[in-house]
């Protein structure tokens, strides 16, 4: 009986290599499918993800301009609140609209669409209620119950209620502005482009999340880490729904809850 090669195990070397490659491919495909980004993508609506067919230099240039303006600020604090909110919301959106127009695209390329808007809002509200309620319960058990982040005073009840209403309305407008602009920039513009160019959805989601987290550097290392995780979650929601409505709603309501004090004083 002739001796077999040390690696053949009764199988021709060429066949052994072929089987090994097939097994490795199968394991790789199974692992990729189980990654959160792929899992969420597969369970979303049947519509395709938005696509952003622009060049890398164009993408990088627009990203630096718009994200830089958003991070470093460009609106004087001396302006009335409503004017500041309008400027911080409209200027980035106007610049993005101009960039898209140069490429003969519109906001549909960033996942902004009226298609199924009512259903998407309902999904966002439902998710927000579950997430925020779970956070309230968790923080309360941890010793940080809800606490209204509004200073008390010796004003009359009517004056106090009036100031409270104005404060709440300003917080709501700020939350809406931040939710819309940050989602359009980091998920709509950045993540859509990265998903169009990179082979790995997981990698694209984490890159956009890290950029989002680094944008909060002035709040410290812990804030960078937390906002990176939140950015990743918002990215998963975007890939799940294949539209920006749900992440905008969840992002907006989460920020509003934090600023309002529903998640406790430590959440600030």
Torsion of CA 235, 236, 239, 242, to 10 degrees: -80
pLDDT digits (tens, 9 = 90+) for 97-115: 999 999 999 999 999 989 8
Check residue 120 and give its pLDDT: 97
Please check the confidence at residue 4 and state whether its pLDDT lies above 60: no
* DSSP structure string for the chain: -PPPPTTTTTS-HHHHHHHHHHHHHHHHHHHHHHSHHHHHHHTS-SSPPP-----HHHHHHHHHHHHHHHHH--S-TTS-HHHHHHHHHHHHHHHHHHHHHHTT--GGGGT---TTHHHHHHHHHHHHHHHHHHHHHHHHHTT------S---SS-HHHHHHHHHHHHHHHHHHHHHHHHHHHIIIIIIIIHHHHHH-S-HHHHHHHHHHHHHHTTGGG-HHHHHHHHHHHHHHHHHHHHHTSSHHHHHHHHHHHHHHHHTTT-GGG-
The domain locations on the chain are 42-267
End-to-end alpha carbon distance in the chain? 78
Residue whose C-alpha is closest to residue 100's, from 110, 112, 90, 91: 110
Calculate what percentage of the chain has a pLDDT beyond 70: 85
Q: What pTM was estimated for this model as a whole? A: 0.86
As a whole number, mean pLDDT of residues 234-254 equals 97
CB 262 within 8 A of CB 136: yes
Calculate what percentage of the chain has a pLDDT beyond 90: 69
As a whole number, mean pLDDT of residues 241-267 equals 91
As a whole number, mean pLDDT of residues 168-177 equals 96
Task: Identify the DSSP state of 149.
Answer: -
Please check the confidence at residue 167 and state whether its pLDDT lies above 50: yes
Check residue 229 and give its pLDDT: 96
Please check the confidence at residue 83 and state whether its pLDDT lies above 80: yes
Residue 111, exposed/middle/buried by CB under 10 A (0-12, 13-18, 19+)?
buried
Q: Phi and psi dihedrals of 104, rounded to 5? A: 60, 45
Residues ≥6 apart with Cβ < 8 Å to 73:
none
As a whole number, mean pLDDT of residues 52-61 equals 97
Residue 161, exposed/middle/buried by CB under 10 A (0-12, 13-18, 19+)?
exposed
CB 63 within 8 A of CB 154: no
CB 204 within 8 A of CB 198: yes
pLDDT digits (tens, 9 = 90+) for 182-194: 999 999 999 999 9
For residue 198 the two structure tokens come to: 């990179």
- Judged by average pLDDT, the poorest of 86-95, 145-154, 246-255 is 145-154
Check residue 148 and give its pLDDT: 84
Give the H or E element holding residue 17. Answer: helix 13-34
pLDDT band at 10 (very low <50, low <70, confident <90, very high): very low
């Amino acid at each position: 009986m002739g001796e077999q090669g040390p690696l053949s195990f009764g199988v021709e070397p060429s066949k052994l290599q072929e089987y090994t490659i097939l097994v490795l491919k199968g394991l790789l495909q199974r692992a990729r499918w189980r990654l959160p980004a792929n899992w969420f993508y597969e369970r979303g609506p049947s519509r395709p993800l938005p696509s952003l067919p622009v060049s890398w230099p164009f993408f990088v240039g627009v990203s630096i301009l718009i994200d830089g303006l958003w991070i470093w600020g460009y609106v004087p604090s001396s302006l009335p609140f409503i004017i500041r909110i309008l400027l911080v919301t409209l200027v980035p959106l106007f610049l993005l609209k101009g960039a898209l127009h140069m490429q003969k695209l519109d906001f549909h390329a960033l996942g902004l669409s009226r298609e199924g808007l009512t259903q998407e809002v309902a999904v966002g509200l439902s998710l927000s209620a579950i997430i925020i309620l779970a956070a309230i319960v968790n923080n309360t058990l941890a010793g940080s119950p809800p606490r209204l982040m509004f200073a008390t005073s010796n004003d009359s009840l009517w004056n106090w209620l009036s100031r409270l209403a104005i404060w709440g309305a300003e917080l709501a407008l700020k939350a809406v502005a931040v939710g819309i602009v940050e989602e359009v920039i980091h998920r709509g513009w950045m993540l859509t482009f990265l998903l169009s160019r990179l082979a790995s959805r997981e990698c694209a989601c984490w890159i956009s999340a890290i950029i989002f987290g680094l944008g909060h550097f002035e709040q410290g290392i812990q804030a960078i880490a937390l906002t990176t995780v939140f950015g990743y979650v918002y990215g998963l929601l975007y890939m799940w729904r294949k539209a920006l409505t749900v992440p905008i709603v969840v992002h907006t309501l989460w920020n509003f809850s934090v600023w309002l004090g529903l998640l406790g004083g430590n959440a600030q």
